[in-house]
């Protein structure tokens, strides 16, 4: 018989003590008290049965709870707009605006008059101010939706004239021809895969033409014996020109000379420009529509526009992004390689005497997210043995790098400087080499 004073079951922590543990208290906020308490009770019962020690109850209860979803990830891949990581990271003003918009807001109400107002007027006014060449603007829920709305409103039952070389696949198996034909429009393909002339377009334009579509092939490059027709020449054909610039660049960026921007495209003669909000703009997922007032109004009033409407959270984050364009995306794109090298060296030095076989090496970062193919960004990375990849990827917080020739590279271009300590702690949490 166990002595009452030495019985290990007497050392099992009380429920109230366990629920006050910082990890479990944080879980209550995310998962609710009942679910966390059930995990605590189960861990206490395991200790009373002798399956775990009383000292392990806290860890067992925490381990039984699911990780928050989605989980915040430190992006050390060197891909600025990583599609699998949600593309653009929002700026602090955008995050604050999103949180503020989580409650009741004046998204569709004029507080001065007490009457209904234009939905999302702050975001729309900010977008119009950012692209003054657009006579009107509208926002839908993503870039593909912007193009679908344009095709439905302007070309359902009619033809869209498009170059064969621009019928791209946009990711996850979604192909532009399938997307456009789903609207009831018929594609009139012109030219060849590598060469299309303005005469090809002119020969195809006729009474059944809804519009001519110009697509920027933002996720691949065709080189060699090639030719394409720019927007300025397409605008002479006497029919609307819709330009899908894709990446959401609103004004020129010298770092990305081959990436079209909305303002320049409109000045060249495009009647309507479509783009994404969560790429180079650095905002939330959204589809941007900019151009001629009559066309934008037709799209805005189309019944499909209601189904593609953005919510108040997106509108708030988009407005904040447009008001303060110094986003994490912009910071990462224009990061100083010398500063990145210095950060990587400090991180290596703070890992301890052996440095865990860490090295500081040059790296090449990319834009990603279907933008600026071929553009390489000089960067620097902390190089570790490949075995660090899995434990860092599954840690808290997850740190995601890329494996190159048997080494894990943690490229710091997309890691905020204030997160360097979190990277260091994550690396030290992995058992070292013998």
Q: How many helices (H) and strands (E) does the chain have?
A: 18, 18
User: What is the mean predicted confidence (pLDDT) over 348-354?
Assistant: 84
pLDDT confidence of residue 108: 95
Cα 345 to its chain centre, rounded Å, is 29
Q: Residue 65 — φ and ψ, nearest 5°?
A: -90, 145
Q: Compute the distance between CA of residue 39 and CA of residue 408 in angstroms, rounded to an integer.
A: 36
Q: How far apart are CA 82 and CA 89, in angstroms?
A: 10
CATH 3.40.640.10 occupies which residues in the chain? 92-324
Which residues lie across from 429 on neighbouring strands? none
pLDDT score at 35: 93
Angle at Cα 24 formed by Cα 23 and Cα 25, nearest 5°? Answer: 95
The strand ranges marked E within 10-84 are 74-75, 79-81
Domain 74-85+330-428, CATH among 3.90.1150.180, 3.40.50.2020, 1.10.600.10, 3.20.20.60: 3.90.1150.180
Q: How far apart are CA 176 and CA 246, in angstroms?
A: 12
**Closest of 224, 154, 145, 142 to residue 185, by C-alpha:** 154
C-alpha distances in Å from residue 277, one per residue of 141, 318, 428: 9, 8, 37
Q: What would the mean pLDDT of 29-50 be, rounded to a whole number?
A: 92
pLDDT band at 248 (very low <50, low <70, confident <90, very high): confident
Quickly state the pLDDT bin for 132 (edges 50, 70, 90).
Answer: very high
Q: How far is CA 48 from the centre of its chain?
A: 47
**Cα–Cα separations (whole angstroms), residue 68 to 23, 72, 96:** 12, 9, 20
Measure the N-to-C terminal CA separation of the chain; round to a whole number of Å. Answer: 44
**pTM, full prediction:** 0.87
The fold for domain 92-324 equals 3.40.640
226 or 40, higher pLDDT: 40
**Lowest-confidence region among 76-80, 166-170, 212-216, 259-263:** 166-170
Q: List, for residues 325-335, the tens digit of each pLDDT value.
A: 899 999 999 99
The overall average pLDDT reported for the chain is 92
Query: Does residue 1 register a pLDDT over 50?
Result: no
What would you report as the CA-atom Rg of the chain, rounded to the nearest whole angstrom?
27
The CA-atom distances, in angstroms, between 423 and each of 12, 117, 332, 343, 348 are 34, 46, 17, 11, 11
CATH 3.90.1150.180 residue ranges in the chain?
74-85+330-428
């Amino acid at each position: 018989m166990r002595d009452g004073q030495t019985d290990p079951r007497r050392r099992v922590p009380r429920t109230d003590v366990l629920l006050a543990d910082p990890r479990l208290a944080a879980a209550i906020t995310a998962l609710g008290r009942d679910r966390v308490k059930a995990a605590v009770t189960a861990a206490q019962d395991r200790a009373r049965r002798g399956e775990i020690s009383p000292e392990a109850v806290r860890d067992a209860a925490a381990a039984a709870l699911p990780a928050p979803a989605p989980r915040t990830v430190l992006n050390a891949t060197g891909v600025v707009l990583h599609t699998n990581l949600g593309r653009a990271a929002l700026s602090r003003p955008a995050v604050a605006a999103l949180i503020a918009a989580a409650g009741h807001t004046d998204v569709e109400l004029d507080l001065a008059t007490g009457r209904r107002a234009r939905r999302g007027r702050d975001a729309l006014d900010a977008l119009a101010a950012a692209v003054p060449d657009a006579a009107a603007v509208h926002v839908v829920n993503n870039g593909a939706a912007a193009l679908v709305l344009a095709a439905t409103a302007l070309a359902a039952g009619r033809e869209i004239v498009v170059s064969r070389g621009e019928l791209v696949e946009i990711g996850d198996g979604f192909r532009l021809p399938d997307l456009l034909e789903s609207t009831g429009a018929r594609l009139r393909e012109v030219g060849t895969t590598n060469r299309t002339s303005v005469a090809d377009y002119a020969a195809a334009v006729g009474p059944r033409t809804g519009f001519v579509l110009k697509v920027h092939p933002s996720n691949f490059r065709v080189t060699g014996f090639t030719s394409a027709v720019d927007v300025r020449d397409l605008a002479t054909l006497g029919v609307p020109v819709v330009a899908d610039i894709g990446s959401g660049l609103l004004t020129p960026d010298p770092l990305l000379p081959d990436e079209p921007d909305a303002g320049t495209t409109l000045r060249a003669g495009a009647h309507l420009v479509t783009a994404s909000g969560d790429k180079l703009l650095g905002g939330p997922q959204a589809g941007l529509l900019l151009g001629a007032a009559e066309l934008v109004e037709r799209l805005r009033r189309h019944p499909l526009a209601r189904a593609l409407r953005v919510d108040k959270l997106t509108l708030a984050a988009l407005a904040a992004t447009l008001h303060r364009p110094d986003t994490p995306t912009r910071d990462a794109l224009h990061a100083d390689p010398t500063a990145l090298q210095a950060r990587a060296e400090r991180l290596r030095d703070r890992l301890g005497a052996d440095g865990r076989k860490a090295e500081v090496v040059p790296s090449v970062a990319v834009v990603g997210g279907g933008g600026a193919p071929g553009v390489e960004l000089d960067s620097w990375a902390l190089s570790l043995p490949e075995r660090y990849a899995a434990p860092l990827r599954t840690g808290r917080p997850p740190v995601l790098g890329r494996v190159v020739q048997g080494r894990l590279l943690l490229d710091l271009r997309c890691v905020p400087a204030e997160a360097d300590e979190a990277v260091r702690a994550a690396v030290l949490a992995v058992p070292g080499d013998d």
